[in-house]
Structure 1
């Protein structure tokens, strides 16, 4: 009878893995907990350690709770500390997904231990997983060629003799992560059919749909770099829908990739809705920092990027991107000395790195620093050198660098050179399916080779108690309705998203003694823009505190801080109507959305009745909803300007 608990535990492990494959996450965790108790009661230390490792994997992969995952991984390692060399030590060393180990030196050390145990004890599944994690560590350290060879070998084993599907799922995640950061998109495509043939990629719940989403994120990133944004968006939306149709948790990799696309498009509120709660993971951390910087929240961008740099240690690939963002943020805060420090470290990490996209980012950051230091000639030369080094297969990156050149020439007062570079950017854009944010669209309009025809500018001008609208020598006077005033606020700031409650407050004012619109309604407490900023700051502080507690081995304190952070994230998510919490018709935000939309569309219709061409264009470029914006395009026949 002494072995009975161990036997029962083995059955529980089987049921746990089956539960995860069918998308029943909590049931799988419960079964693993039962297995751990059984192995512990039987005195089977090695199997108890494997059960702990699997619990860590479950919390990491299916729950997204990295704090709990690390606690279980540590417990597993502690159980095996006094055991003689054994296969289980290898499995525990690389129990989690390699892409969730932030520091590549740590990942490499664990992978080497696992590879040693795999080859000594003859376990091909452990060997494949160790090769995948070791390959990813090499890629992150800048040894791209060697790392990708190791990853190829791992994938070949999973398409052949290796048959552990759970280990394979984590290893293939490492492969896709390496392809993503090193821009090895062709290599990822090369293996997709084989991975699909052996069932590692597919629509089934569990590992299959997770890997399908990760694969879609890598493919979409390639499409984004190629300027095929509509295709990328469709692929990601389809992947998100497939994932959430068979899994009880939000989509991960494709949602983060879509958020990154939204930031490029200037749709910042949409990006935040996709990223809420995901910023503990490294893949999401960089887009979150970019989002903060795009909003002008420089301190938050720096805090997030700095946390990322602490997490990744000597990682060269991710370090280059994070340091480039730090340098840009420091320049935005007019701290040239701090930007120079970031650039110096950035250039050290980028030196000899054979990843064109990252080399270009490093050169761009250096050019911006030179410009801020007053050396515009050298800044322009550096940006031109970066542009010359970009391969033709990265047209979106070429556009980004050309726009940088336009701005540098404008800063130098050389309008002719700025016009030439703007024309080059426009020429590249003509062959792409790309939606530039309003800031870039306005820049290209400013330096268009051909001046816009007379009469293509529409003016909104305040005239006492009314507004005048003029275009093509036609001028009409319209009463200053709420809808027209909302419209004016949006046109004043092209491309800037405004929450309807903030828009209402701006136009109507906030009653000192009246009720707070942001806290009315049945949809729960809504957060205004100031409150959302405060929440973001507090979440970032808690994320940093969790990392510090884990580094100190204070697991209980880390868990308590994680619970606080999770609660704040839930509250922030509710402000976006996320987490399955729909807004009711009586909520303040919903009422504001309906009223603002109706008022704005009425104002646009009145303008259209008097100025048909200008009104139709305006109707296409005004976006209404919980978040509203005026989003002009470079080829619009009418350019709207507010004069007041």
Structure 2
């Protein structure tokens, strides 16, 4: 018999679902709390557990508070621990998003329990969700073929008899995540039309737009790998705008994919703005670690990657990428033995893995470690093995490997072989819409230039406390001002946009052994380059401490640490004009724009006074503002270069 209390609690549960579907997160949490109190008062342990599990999902997926989510998931598990086998145990086991369960061994165990309950009690909706999460776990563990078959079966059920929209949206998210990490882009495209037909993907607020944005992120990732960066950028920016235009919460999957593209483009401040506040979740950790490494903050990159490795446990796919980054970071810090250890772990995870992209990345990392160890012949052979793994498709990765070969041949003194590989890289690049880092572009130019540039060459050369500027036999020595250093950063990477905060970080950043706690918490919008680095390091430290506290059952400490972390994330977001705050005159970005513009224009004027023709090119081609760039044109009679 259904009591009045049960009916009221059930109605609150329905209202919560409707609130979340419309993006009204706090209302949804409030209604779940009402439902939980009602089921508890009625003595309904099973439905109380379901309400707890849904609160865990809300805090994890919508609020980003892993500490609170763990508390609610743990309570749901405890409520059902001594209950006879029932369907609710299955739903609680896989209540969260499969892609938010970091360790695939845990996800596999939970999905296995849910699948057992689903088939014993005849619940096709639970069966489909269990198949999706179990398939994702298999893929992450390296069993790609078996995992994808399970995911295909789950999608088929949602396109047929399974009708639970909430479970379907979470399961399809697991499917897209598996396609993303295993580079099964064609498989994702195969199911998109069917998912649209049954209304799981669309433009409506809630699960439809969420899955549509996730699908766009996977499609854009494929475009990035294919070297169609302009198309990928257009798709991701429109997906972001579409999502945030109908949902009152920040976009997730397209924001992370766009951040990855921005890192590749060298737009590091843009990437950080997209990732701020998302670093509690595994999907954002790899691009975040790449961002720190691109900035030269090796210690922070390694700390972020190490946290990721701890979170993913036995995950082979994400483990390979994280360990490759660790090896690269250790090499950047000249710790060859540590890089070799990371590479040994990497090759162990990659052994037998049927994902060509990851096999190639593993071999590339091994080649770099071999080169650093002095075994250039074996390094070259290993880099060639990496190229063999991606003979078809993935042209951006092929260019990266070709460039690696050019560098190895140059180190070995084999100019002829370097020239051949540079020509191959240049040939592939000709059909791509990508931007190479300045160092890689310079390496190819040393070996693949077919025609000498016409006109005159002007150069900027750092000589201790001064800069030497020369052109056509005229040489001028200028003091090493910030403006000249900003200018040199732009000229050494022609065509690459740089956010002013990136320039400030490079020129004014100070390497710090640890955060100065006295500077944190009250800097607000006035964050300078040093303070932003303090914040990044303290946030990473807090993330690790939160994981430690949760692992040891110290829930209260985890909550306190989470609160401090959220406050710091808010301050860091404000520096980029995020979280609904505009870039006011006092913001870090605006102050940097004014200072960098003034300094660069002063430096250009000083150069123009001594070298009028060369200076006039800089005056026309240097673009300043929030984004700065040096944009030379083919008709320029003076070609600028920088000697470090």
TM over 0.5: yes
Q: Which moved more, 1:96-105 or 1:241-250?
A: 241-250
TM (norm. structure 2) is 0.90
The equivalent of 2:590 in structure 1 is: 590
> What TM-score results when the alignment is normalised by the length of structure 1?
0.90
Aligned partner of 2:14 in structure 1 is 14
- Equivalent runs, 1:547-586 vs 2, <5 Å: 547-585=547-585
When residues 75 and 168 of structure 1 are mapped into structure 2, their CA distance, relative to the original with a 3 A threshold, is same
Q: Aligned partners of 2:82 and 2:635: how far apart in 1? A: 70
2:304 is aligned with 1:304: yes
Asked whether the equivalents of residues 460 and 467 of structure 1 are also in contact (C-alpha less than 8 Å), the reply is yes
Matches within 5 A, 1:355-434: 355-434=355-434
**449-458 or 228-237, which moves further after superposition?**
449-458
1:128 aligned residue: 128
1:490 is matched with 489
In structure 2, what is the Cα distance between the partners aligned to 1:504 and 1:318? 29
Deviations 1:244-281 (A, max 9, x none): 11111111100000011111112111111111111111
CA distance in 2, matches of 1:619, 1:241: 33
The 3 A distance-change label for structure 1 pair 399 and 11 is same
Counterpart contact for 1:356–1:391, Cα < 8 Å: no
Shift of the 546–623 alpha-carbon distance from structure 1 to 2, 3 Å rule, reads: farther
Structure 1: gaps spanning 5 or more residues: 511-518
Distance of 2:604 and 2:52 partners within structure 1: 61
1:263 is the counterpart of 2:268: no
Listed one character per residue, the Cα deviations across residues 54-100 of structure 1 (whole Å, up to 9, x for unaligned) are 11111122212222112111111111111100000000000001010
Any conservation in 1 of the 2:455–2:637 contact (CA below 8 Å)? no
Residues 1:291 and 2:304 are matched in the alignment: no
Q: What is the alpha-carbon distance in structure 1 between the residues aligned to residue 293 and residue 54 of structure 2? A: 38
Residue of structure 2 in register with 1:54 after alignment: 54
**Is the contact made by 2:104 and 2:313 (CA closer than 8 Å) also made in structure 1?**
yes
Equivalent pair of 1:617/1:638 in contact (CA under 8 Å): no
Structure 2 distance, partners of 1:263, 1:43, is: 53
**Separation in 2, partners of 1:558, 1:466:** 51
Q: Report deviation, 1:528.
A: 1.9
Q: Unaligned stretches of 5+ in structure 2?
A: 511-518
Tell me if structure 1 keeps the 8 A contact 2:104–2:137. yes
Partner SS state of residue 459, structure 2: strand
- In structure 2, C-alpha distance between the alignment counterparts of 1:250 and 1:95, rounded to whole Å: 22
Contact 1:483 1:602 in 2 (8 A): no
Name 1:326's counterpart in structure 2.
Answer: 326
2:236 is the counterpart of 1:199: no
Provide, for residues 129-183 of structure 1, a one-character-per-residue CA deviation record: whole Å limited to 9, x for no partner.
0000000000011110010000000001111111111101110010000000110
SS of equivalent residue, structure 1 residue 428:
helix
Is residue 215 of structure 1 aligned with residue 179 of structure 2? no
1:75-154 to 2 correspondences below 5 Å: 75-154=75-154
Shift of 1:388: 2.0
Contact 2:505 2:529 in 1 (8 A): no
Change over 3 Å in CA distance of 1:179–1:614 after alignment to 2: farther
Aligned residue in 1 for 2:516: none
Judged with a 3 Å threshold, the aligned counterparts in structure 2 of structure 1 residues 490 and 14 are, in CA distance, closer, same or farther, namely same
Q: 1:627 to 1:564 in 2, by over 3 A?
A: farther
Counterpart-to-counterpart distance in 2, 1:410 and 1:641 = 21
Aligned to 1:440: 440
> What's the RMSD between the two structures over aligned residues?
3.2
More moved, 440-449 vs 156-165:
440-449
Q: In 1, Cα distance between the equivalents of 2:244 and 2:602?
A: 38
Distance 2:635 2:552 in 1: 56
CA distance in structure 1 between the partners assigned to 2:633 and 2:534 by the alignment: 33
Does the CA contact (< 8 Å) of 2:535 and 2:572 recur in 1? Answer: yes
**Partners in 1 of 2:639 and 2:315 — Cα distance?**
46
Aligned residues: 631
Residue 439 (structure 1) shift: 2.0
**1:402-455 Cα shifts (integer Å, max 9, x gaps):** 011111111112222222211111110000111122222222222233352353
Match of 1:177 in 2: 177
Residue 475 of structure 1: CA displacement? 5.8
Secondary structure (helix, strand or coil) at the match of 2:532 reads helix
Alpha-carbon deviations, 1:373-397, whole Å to 9, x = none?
Answer: 1000110111012112213211001
Contact 2:500 / 2:626 at 8 angstroms: preserved in 1?
yes
The alignment partner of 2:85 has SS state of coil
Cα distance change, pair 61–288 in 1 and its aligned pair in 2 (3 A): same
Native 8 Å contact 1:98 1:171 kept in 2: yes
Equivalences for residues 491-640 of structure 1 within 5 A = 491=490, 494=493, 497=498, 499=500, 503=504, 524-585=524-585, 587=587, 589-594=589-594, 596-597=596-597, 600=600, 615=616, 619-620=620-621, 622-626=622-626, 628=628, 630=630, 639-640=639-640
Contact preservation (8 Å) 2:53, 2:76:
yes
Q: Which moved more, 1:480-489 or 1:309-318?
A: 480-489
Deviates more, 1:315-324 or 1:583-592: 583-592
Shift in alpha-carbon separation, 1:501–1:214, aligned structure 2, 3 A: closer
CA distance, structure 2, for counterparts of residue 44 and residue 634 of structure 1: 75
Give the aligned partner of residue 226 of structure 1: 226
Structure 1 residues 118 and 491: alpha-carbon distance in aligned structure 2, compared to 1, 3 A threshold: closer
**Alpha-carbon distance between aligned partners in 2 of 1:305 and 1:505, rounded to the nearest angstrom:** 22
- Take 1:554 and 1:322, find their aligned partners in 2: how far apart are those partners? 28
| Cα distance change of structure 1 residues 87 and 586 upon mapping to structure 2, 3 Å threshold | closer
Q: Give me the whole-angstrom Cα distance separating, in 2, the residues matched to 1:115 and 1:229.
A: 41
SS at match of 1:447: helix
Q: What does residue range 29-48 of structure 1 map to in structure 2 within 5 Å?
A: 29-48=29-48
2: distance between equivalents of 1:209 and 1:641? 47
Q: Is the 8 A contact 1:500 1:627 kept in 2?
A: no
